[in-house]
A = this chain, B = another copy of it.
Amino acid sequence: MKVIVQQESFAPGQVIQTFQDALPRGKHGGVVSFVGTMRDFNDGEDVVSMTLEHYPGMTEKHIEQVCAEAAERWDIVDSLVVHRYGEMFPNDAIVLVAVWSAHRANAFDACRFIINYLKARAPFWKCETTTAGEKRWVEHNSKDPKAEVSDSE
């Protein structure tokens, strides 16, 4: 289990491959991953960049909790989360969740669980800069971070 919260941009495929090359051989049959990408519009306006603020320490702690919970609930080989903070640009990868398992059903379930709970619980806040130079906080619907979450929103 590895959780990385970093400012630098990253190439999801490369990060997955490097992590996978270090896994014990022959134990996993596959990897399921989710990569979230920055869009270039939101609410009808063009967005030139986005700054992600986070709560250092609490962010890592909660993503690690979610990964540990996934490893308890499903039989998986390993998991990897990379999440950026700071300024980023359209089409940048924001978040990567990857889960390796012997049976793919577990990897699908665990990967989905991790990204859903990460989105509900990990303290990150998006602030967009529009082409008009306006900065605005992205406001989502209020959600209890302790509640059961889904990915239907």
Q: Are A29 and B33 in contact (CB under 8 A)?
A: no
Stretch at the interface among A8-16, A49-57, A131-139: A8-16
A29 to B151, CA, bound (A): 13
Whether a CB of chain B sits under 8 angstroms from the CB of A83 is no
Whether a CB of chain B sits under 8 angstroms from the CB of A63 is no
Taking a contact as CB atoms closer than 8 A, the residue among B13, B36, B153 that contacts A30 in the complex is B36
A90 to B20, CA, bound (A): 13
A96 to B87, CA, bound (A): 31
CB of A126, distance to nearest CB on chain B (Å):
12
Count of chain A residues with a beta carbon within 8 Å of a chain B beta carbon? 37
Q: Are B33 and A37 in contact (CB under 8 A)?
A: no
A35-B31, A104-B34 known; A17 vs B11 contact (CB < 8 Å):
yes
Taking a contact as CB atoms closer than 8 A, the residue among B13, B40, B103, B151 that contacts A11 in the complex is B13
A13-B17, A17-B11, A17-B13 known; A29 vs B36 contact (CB < 8 Å):
yes
- Chain A residues with CB under 8 Å of chain B are 11-14, 16-17, 20-21, 25-26, 28-37, 39-41, 90-91, 103-105, 107-108, 111-112, 115, 150-153
